[in-house]
Structure 1
């Protein structure tokens, strides 16, 4: 059994945005429950017992995408790699609804969702259970006093490091130079080994809507690869 967490966490991201379309409300009502990873929340798992994510995917390797946005990268990876299972974490209801629509359209079945704080999921993941992780265009929190809210801080990176398998790859994409700076500082401090960083994306990279917006507005994407 993992140690039960009793402190109340601060959460600063958005949960709701624009009014959902009727079709999106239908996705949430019909698809979110069956696709949600069980036993992650305190309500469903009050003792915070570790879960077995591979068992959820019939023994397949498990990948994790933190903050999947509109879901285009996650669905593209699921379609390209049917031999793995992919868990997506996202608290933003509008993004979840967009992902569910893309899952329906693509017909992928090797996906699961945690509609909440990624830290709650990492609390119940066994050590070494994640074979690859993605952090694509996370909230930049540009003001200096808000940098502690970024994902690339010890509060997030240390639990992620613990959950990842030896040799597992952790990818980060961002168009914010200061976010990359902090990523390159905090990643090794959490135990990750830097493999590569620069303007060239991965061979199987699927560009997100956030990246396309960055390119339209003249910002340059940057890609960082770590290994556990």
Structure 2
């Protein structure tokens, strides 16, 4: 089957709902009180060291695109207090949940972007990140919607620009066709190298992997996750 051509002129990455069920009172309060101090100010990003986003020194900065309920983002921030994390999520319920967790746990190494991630990617400094995670993105399984998949030429170029040499792009999915789609594009890109040396390298989750609610649902429904890592050359 012939795949639709990537649309490099696309200006936005987010498709779908921005809000689900009504926020709980505590979540709404956290959004109003805490999100302003946690939010990344895009206007101040160009020319600014990313480490300046955080009140304490960090040795590296990582980005998670579409963090969902925030399970992985928060777990990684707790495991690595010396690393700064930027979480991007356009779904307001996910932003509300992450904001509440960051505030309640007192995490100083997390910043949040509650909108389409493309404007953020375009303002991040070249080579400023040592890792980008894209975990269980919407696979848009219908062929007419493939153009909405996040892994495409324009966004691969964006990720390549912001990753430092030796940096990692990590991708997880339980949809075999999306895994194949991503592998075709990343292995054909001279800027990236797939790090897997054997099947277990992509069948087993990464060290410290906390799992996510979506992943648990996929396993219950008989879909096996894959964990793919690519090194920026």
Q: With structure 1 as the length reference, what TM-score do the two structures score?
A: 0.89
Q: Deviations over 1:82-135 (max 9, x none)?
A: 010000011110000111122133322100011111111111111110011111
Matched, 1:128 2:124: no
In structure 2, the partner of 1:198 is 202
TM-aligned CA deviation for residue 200 of structure 1: 0.8
Q: Root-mean-square deviation (CA), in Å? A: 1.9
TM-aligned CA deviation for residue 11 of structure 1: 3.7
Aligned with 1:52 (options 46, 49, 52): 49
Aligned in 2, Cα 1:7/1:171: closer, same or farther, shift over 3 Å?
Answer: closer
Aligned residues: 217
TM-aligned CA deviation for residue 59 of structure 1: 5.0
Kindly report which structure 2 residues correspond to 1:17-166, keeping only aligned pairs within 5 A, or say none: 17-38=20-41, 40=42, 44=43, 49-57=46-54, 58-166=57-165
Aligned with 2:212 (options 205, 208, 212): 208
TM-aligned CA deviation for residue 51 of structure 1: 3.9
SS for the counterpart of 1:198 is helix
Matched, 1:224 2:221: no
For 2:130 and 2:46, the matched residues in 1 are separated by: 21
Q: With structure 2 as the length reference, what TM-score do the two structures score?
A: 0.87
* Runs of at least 5 residues in structure 2 that lack an aligned partner in the other structure: 1-8
Aligned in 2, Cα 1:106/1:126: closer, same or farther, shift over 3 Å?
Answer: same
